[in-house]
Amino acid sequence: MVDFPALCILTDRQALPGILARIPPRKAPVTATTPPPAPTPEFPSPDPAIAPVPARPFSRRNRPVSFFDLPLATLEERVVALGGEKYRAKQLWGWAYDRLVPGYDAMTNVPAALRETLAADLPFGSMHLVREFMADDGETVKLLYQTFDGQFVETVLMLYPDRATVCVSCQVGCAVGCAFCATGMGGLTRNLTAGEIVQQTVDAARRAREMGRSLTNLVMMGMGEPMQNYAETMTFIGIINDHRGLNFGARRITISTSGIVPRIDALAKEPYQVNLAVSLHAPNDELRSRLVPINARYPISELLAACDRYIAETGRRISFEYALMSGINDSDEIAHELGRLLRGRLCHVNVIPFNPVEVLQFERPTVAGIDRFADILRAEGIPTTVRYSRGLDIAAACGQLRAKHEEERDRMAALPVAS
């Protein structure tokens, strides 16, 4: 971690250049000439029973279409094309989304011949679970999937006294490249399909049920930028929102964006009453452009204008996400500036103390500093909640588990083979 000075609270805007200078560059990626670091001792080794799938180039032509990719009407067409009766599709749909079974074999009122045909022609899911970790006394479950093309995707299930929330990923990697995010360090590999996002949700609902809970909330705040995978995101929402299946209420779904203005406008016109969260992280363009590079294309004035249009169109409140980092964006002066920026808008601020990432040189503020920042926003008239990250001991910040797994896989692959 970078050693920020103890007294790094801004007293005026003249100090901003010094703050910008303290935003550290990303560490260089490990190369063939740089031996990879030894694995963290407490990080579990890969399950030797799971054969790794080598990563291969992805194209839409070679991607498998799974059961979870299909809306009900399309599934009905597929079942008929395979020689089954149309009504069988609703039976399959109920088994998958109501009973949450893990595969075709459990669908006992569907003819065995049709199940065998479906298994060969339409895989139930296209990803398989590689690892599962638990933290917070079993109330946080992190799942690591491997996709058909050898990529890795993370999902987190978080249990609270009054709700159970799943955080899903929508891309392998991310093109936005926020300075404080582990996911974007390697750039964007590809978009996830709607089915890959649906599978994360259904698996989380099944896991929650096994723990005696019902899945109540979904946030698209995992790996990737949903607004840069917009079509698949909308297909995903349509599938899980279908009242004949999972029947997941749109108002219990939150889509997070770094600020893709045209997509915010598009979302306002969609039929789904989903919630919108905007990753703000700074109250001025100079600082935000260093933290969130997309700000250079959609500066704060344009972003907030789109938010205002969204509020006017939908009547729904927007949440602004604010990752709080010591010595970067946590000063009293910045808190007041943020309050002035958002005052009068139908909004809520979620202050998220930075989740430490091994390869990123940022630090979390002290508890007193976190509380002071939130109190200033409240005094400015901004509804504010402090949301601490879950699963700090299992690399629960998005992208961390994937990075650790890939690091360890590469290290093991480089070991000499015993003769």
Domains of the chain: 65-125 (1.10.150.530), 126-414 (3.20.20.70)
Instruction: Compute the chain's Rg from CA coordinates.
Output: 22
Distance of alpha carbon 87 from alpha carbon 228, whole angstroms: 36
Distance of alpha carbon 152 from alpha carbon 53, whole angstroms: 10
Q: Report pLDDT digits (tens) over 242-285.
A: 999 999 999 999 999 999 999 999 999 999 999 999 999 999 99
In this structure, the number of other CB atoms found within 10 A of the CB of residue 162 comes to 5
**Out of 65-69, 315-319, 387-391, which region has the weakest mean confidence (pLDDT)?**
387-391
- What is the share, in percent, of the chain residues with pLDDT greater than 90? 73
How confident is the model over 85-104, as a mean pLDDT?
Answer: 98
| Terminal C-alpha separation, the chain | 41
Note the helical H segments in 68-213: 72-81, 88-97, 112-121, 194-210
- Please state, rounded to an integer, the average pLDDT across all residues of the chain: 85
How confident is the model over 139-160, as a mean pLDDT?
Answer: 96
Pair of tokens at residue 130: 């590689």
- The pLDDT value recorded for residue 20 is 66
Q: Report pLDDT digits (tens) over 280-337.
A: 999 999 999 999 999 999 999 999 999 999 999 999 999 999 999 999 999 999 999 9
Sign of CA dihedral 99, 241, 239, 157: negative
Pair of tokens at residue 187: 């750039």
Residue 31 binned pLDDT confidence (cut-offs 50, 70, 90): very low
- The pLDDT value recorded for residue 241 is 98
- 174: which residues sit within 8 A by CB, 6+ positions away? 181, 183, 184, 187, 188, 223, 224, 225, 399
- 103: which residues sit within 8 A by CB, 6+ positions away? 119, 124
pLDDT at residue 3 tops 90: no
pLDDT at residue 6 tops 90: no
Longest dimension (CA), the chain: 73
Vertex 247: Cα angle to 246 and 248 (nearest 5): 90
- 419: which residues sit within 8 A by CB, 6+ positions away? none
Residue 186 binned pLDDT confidence (cut-offs 50, 70, 90): confident
Distance of alpha carbon 304 from alpha carbon 311, whole angstroms: 10
**Out of 80-89, 212-221, 258-267, 382-391, which region has the weakest mean confidence (pLDDT)?**
382-391
Residue 361 binned pLDDT confidence (cut-offs 50, 70, 90): confident
pLDDT at residue 60 tops 90: no
Distance of alpha carbon 324 from alpha carbon 310, whole angstroms: 25
The phi and psi torsions of 254 (rounded to 5 degrees) equal: -120, 125
The single-letter code of the amino acid at 74 is T
- The pLDDT value recorded for residue 21 is 65
How confident is the model over 228-243, as a mean pLDDT?
Answer: 98
pLDDT at residue 181 tops 60: yes
Distance of alpha carbon 391 from alpha carbon 201, whole angstroms: 19
Distance of alpha carbon 204 from alpha carbon 192, whole angstroms: 17
How confident is the model over 23-32, as a mean pLDDT?
Answer: 47
pLDDT at residue 360 tops 90: no
DSSP one-letter code for 366: P
Active centre residues (catalytic): 154, 398
Pair of tokens at residue 176: 């936005």
Residue 403 binned pLDDT confidence (cut-offs 50, 70, 90): low
